[in-house]
Amino acid sequence: MQGQPKAIAVLTSGGDAAGMNMAIRAVTRSALARGWAVYGVQEGFAGLIAPPEEGKISRLEARDVGGILGRGGTVLGSARCKDFHDEKARARGIDNLAALGVDALVVIGGNGSQTGAHALHEQGLAVIGIASTIDNDLEGSDITLGADTALNVAVDAVDKLRVTASSHRRASIVEVMGRHCGYIGLAVGLATGAEAIVLPENDVSPDEVAQRIVNAYERGKHHAIVIVAEGARHNAQALAAILERDHRERVRFDMRVTVLGHIQRGGTPTVQDRLLGARFGAHAIECLARGEHGVLVGLRGSEVVTTPLAEVIGKQKPLDLDLVELAHVLAQ
C-alpha cells in the first residue's frame, strides 16, 4: 500500500468477545471521517474468501454501525475457516478485496485470527490487528478486548453460586473458559475468594483441593468455592468425581459442579471494553493513515501501542503466578 488507503475492510474472527462491536463502530466512523470507503466482511476469514456472488463483503456507512456499541458479540459474525490455511485461499481473499478497491484490512480477534492477519500481510496486504479475546492470552496487550466483560460475567455467576452454596453448606466447583490459558480462572478465583484455583499453568492436585475444602469447613465456613480453568489437567466434572470417590468423608460438604461455558462470551460490554474498542479501533485507522501496518493494536499500561504481528503470533502471554499464592493467602 502506497500512502493512505482509499478503502478499507474490517472483519471479526475467532471467538466472539464483548466490545467487538464498539471496535467495528470506531474503525468505520474513524475511516469515514478521513473520506475513506469502508467495507464489512461477514463471517470472518470464511467470508473474506467466499465467492463474491455470496455477498459477504458490503459497504458500511455511519448509520450501519449506529446503536451497536452496547451489544455483545459481533454484528459482522464470525466463523472458523480451515481453508484459510491455504495460501491460494488467502490470495483469493486478497483478490476479493482488490476487486472492490480495498487496499487495507483490520482484523479484530485473538491468536488464531492474528496468525491469519500476519499471513495476509506476508502476502502483500496492508493489515492491522486489534487484540480481542476473552482469554487475554495474546502477546502485545496487557488486556484484550472482551476479557473484562467475561470476567465480570463469571464473577457475578460465582457470587450468586456462593449464596446458594452457603445456604445449603455446599462446595461449588465452577469451571470457567480460557482454552489453554488460566487467566480467567486466576482472576475470577482471586476476585471471588476461592478456596482453590486449578489452572493449566499451576496444577493443584485433587488431594490438595480436598484439603483446602476441609480447611474451609474446619474454619467454620458454610461453603467452599473451587475455580477450575477449562484447560486444567482435570476439568470440573473429573475433579468432582475424584473428590467424591476418594475424599467424600473428609470433604463433608455436598459438592455441586457448574460449567459456566459460553455464557462468559455474552452480556453487555463493560465500560472498559467499550473504551478499549473505541480506542483500539480509532488507533488502527491512525496507523493506516501514517502508513503503518503488519502490527497488532493493544494496550500497554494506559497507552494504546502497536506490536509487530510477527512478534505476537505463536506465543501465549504468561500469567503472573504470584497472584495464585496471593489468592491462596487471602482465602484463609
Known binding-site positions = 15, 25-29, 80-81, 110-113, 133-135, 162, 170, 177-179, 193-195, 219, 221-223, 230, 256, 262-265
Instruction: Report phi then psi at 208, rounded to 5.
Output: -70, -40
Decide: 103 and 261 in contact? Cβ < 8 Å: no
Distance CA 22, CA 274 (A): 6
Binding residues for substrate: 133-135, 170, 177-179, 230, 256, 262-265
Binding residues for Mg(2+): 111
H/E segment holding residue 38: strand 37-41
Say if residue 241 is exposed, middle or buried (CB neighbours under 10 Å; 0-12, 13-18, 19+): middle
End-to-end Cα distance, the chain: 58
Please count the other Cβ atoms lying within 10 Å of the Cβ belonging to residue 271.
Answer: 9
- SS3 label, residue 291: coil
Angle of helix 147-168 relative to helix 271-289, nearest 10 degrees, comes to 160
Angle of helix 183-192 relative to helix 322-330, nearest 10 degrees, comes to 30
- CA 288: distance to chain centroid? 24
Decide: 1 and 103 in contact? Cβ < 8 Å: yes
Catalytic residue among 16, 103, 135, 137: 135
H/E segment holding residue 146: none
- List all residues 6 or more positions away from 309 whose beta carbon is below 8 Å from its beta carbon: 114, 117, 118, 121, 127, 129, 294, 295, 296
Extract the C-alpha cell encoding 297. Answer: 493494536
Please count the other Cβ atoms lying within 10 Å of the Cβ belonging to residue 203.
Answer: 12
Distance CA 121, CA 113 (A): 12
Distance CA 214, CA 212 (A): 5
Active site residue 135: yes
Binding residues for ADP: 25-29, 162, 193-195, 219, 221-223
Return the closest-CA partner of residue 16 out of 115, 149, 129, 118. 149
- Catalytic residue positions, numbered: 135
